[in-house]
Amino acid sequence: MPAVQLDLRGLTAEQPPSRRHVASVVDDAEAVHVLGPVTALSAVLARLWRRERLPAVPVSWEPAGDPASTGLARALGVGTGTERELPLVRDDHGGVLLSAGRVTAFGEQRRVLSRRFGAQAHCDDDRVADGPITRIDVRPDWTAVDRLTVAVVTLPLRPVRRSHGRALQIASAPAQVFRDGVPFDREVTKWTWYADDRVRWRLRP
3-state class of 202 per DSSP? strand
Residue 128, pLDDT > 60, answer yes
Amino acid occupying residue 133: I
pLDDT digits (tens, 9 = 90+) for 71-106: 999 999 999 989 999 999 999 999 999 999 999 998
Spatial CA neighbour of 99 closest among 41, 15, 31, 22: 41
Output phi, psi for 10, to 5 deg: -80, -10
pLDDT of 110 higher than 90: no
Residue 108 confidence (pLDDT) = 54
Sign of the Cα torsion 21, 23, 29, 34 reads positive
> Of how many residues is the chain composed?
205
Query: Which residues in 49-187 belong to E strands, given as ranges?
Result: 59-63, 84-91, 96-97, 101-105, 117-123, 126-133, 135-140, 148-153, 161-165, 167-179, 182-183
Report the pLDDT value the prediction gives residue 156, as an integer from 0 to 100.
Answer: 75
Residue 155 pLDDT more than 90?
no
pLDDT > 70 fraction of the chain, expressed in percent and rounded: 96
- With a cut of 60, say whether residue 112 has pLDDT above it: no
Question: For 101-196, which CATH class?
Answer: mainly beta
pLDDT bin (cut points 50, 70, 90) of residue 114 is: low
Query: Is the model more confident about 99 or about 2?
Result: 99
Domain boundaries defined on the chain: 4-89, 101-196
- Mean pLDDT computed over 157-173: 92
Per-residue pLDDT at 109 exceeds 70: no
pLDDT for res 19: 92
Specify whether the CB–CB gap between 122 and 128 falls below 8 A: yes
Q: What is the pLDDT of residues 139-148, one digit of tens each?
A: 999 999 999 9
- Whole-number mean pLDDT of the chain? 93
User: So what's the pLDDT on residue 26?
Assistant: 94
